[in-house]
Structure 1
């Protein structure tokens, strides 16, 4: 019997990409609401209760409302918003870090944010291994395609006279900050410098490190080896051969990708390192991660339907 799936917020960017990835998959039966029904609380509640798994592609407050509407149904939920990423009772949907079994057995799964996926993919394994300290003051420099900002930002970047670059988050209160600190196991919050460029999709997340000031004298080679071992066998996350990389590019017309590449660049003296993640903000950073979690929750091969 097919698993019944309801995408609450299916008309948004993330929801549309999830539907594309589910197209033609006989393991799932989509519950679809028309435009009028999507605005009806009663219709949404019925759909949430009828589904085996609901995927929420909504703003935070609307996602919380959907969880409330689903109460008493037993429906399993994947929330692609940031509403529940550090909430009690929710499993963080980063299987490579959290463990596949936890996600497989969870009722409530919170999809990671796109920027945190890159940061955590780089830093969390190294903190766990004791190679970089949990009490360090980390900074994150990141650039993303404009699709991550939703319809309003998409329209802004596709309009005549669109900006060539957008930097934001200057209030130091970005919603991704608690997620980064919590799931990396850090003592301090990070300084996060996000920006947007005129490419539809894709992102590069960088964490610069002054290794020479860290205890234990870690080297770039140590960090790269640890990440390679941590992700060994993963079909989604890979650690690149940094010696062959002269530059990292984001293609304006890149196709969807649900993979993530990690790099560790070090200087000749070993004092400095640049940890870099390259991923698709709509792939492993959003819709692809939701499909990966859906597969795991349904006992299917985790890469089914993914673009890798």
Structure 2
């Protein structure tokens, strides 16, 4: 019997992408609430409880409500919202984060999909903290740019309506209270909150995250080769992952280091750029905020949980 998949919120940005990714999957049965009953709580409850796996593509409060409507011990859940990313009893849905993470996700009843912004910094920082090359209390700063689709329906409609007049580069989170900070700190193994300065660009999807490192203040300054080796070794030990580490080298610029390069995929490419004489380094990650950062990650987690290729 094919596993039944229910996408709660399938008409939103992430839900539509997941639905599209699963459209040709003959190994699954997608169950959907009839359009006229989409806002009927009793209909949602019925579908949540008859699904083998529910994927929640909802705002935080609605996602919590959906979880509360599940009355059986068989429906497994992937939550794409922020609601459960650091909650007890939930596994973090970034399979490449650790060698044991795919098995943990496969066995989990509840999985919290990662946020798009934390994934790149976690992917680059966690291996370095684990290897002892960066102390957990290192003062981390993070910046980057993502497509406007990461801002939800209102931002998408605003950018589409304004067209070429929309801002090419718009910093946000300027109150320094970004909702992804707890998640980023927890899974990057940081002892102090990082300083995060995100920006949105006038393109639909894709992103780059950048972690600049002033290494000279460390008692023992790691070389660029040591940073690269620790990150490369981490991902070499994870089978079936979608994170690739670029070769170490001097790169002034590259056509691949652009936010839309991996759009439509579940891939992420990580770069270590260093100047040992200056004791400085940059950790870059390029990926699709709606792919690896949302829908692609959800499908990857779903396949792990259901034991599918």
Please classify the TM superposition score into its range, dividing by the shorter chain length: over 0.9
Deviations, residues 82-134 of structure 1 (Å, cap 9, x unaligned): 10000001001111124111101000000000011111001011111111110
8 Å Cα contact 1:91-1:103 kept in structure 2? yes
TM-score (norm 1): 0.94
8 Å Cα contact 2:206-2:288 kept in structure 1? yes
Which residue matches 1:238? 244
Which residue matches 1:272? 280
Alignment of structure 1 residues 153-302 onto 2, 5 Å: 153-160=155-162, 161-232=165-236, 233-243=239-249, 245=251, 246-247=253-254, 248-251=257-260, 255-269=263-277, 271-301=279-309
Deviations, residues 176-202 of structure 1 (Å, cap 9, x unaligned): 000011111211001110100011111
Which residue matches 2:138? 136
Which residue matches 1:304? none
Which residue matches 2:106? 104
8 Å Cα contact 2:5-2:53 kept in structure 1? yes
Aligned partner of residue 243 in structure 1, secondary structure:
coil
Report the more deviating stretch, 232-241 or 284-293.
Answer: 232-241
Q: CA RMSD in A?
A: 1.5
Which residue matches 1:11? 11
Give the Cα–Cα distance (whole angstroms) in 1 for the partners of residues 263 and 179 of structure 2.
Answer: 28
Which residue matches 1:76? 76
Extract unaligned runs of 5+ from structure 2: none
**How many residues are matched?**
300
Deviations, residues 33-68 of structure 1 (Å, cap 9, x unaligned): 122211000000000000000000000010000000
Runs of 4+ in 1 over 3 A off after TM superposition: none
8 Å Cα contact 1:49-1:73 kept in structure 2? no
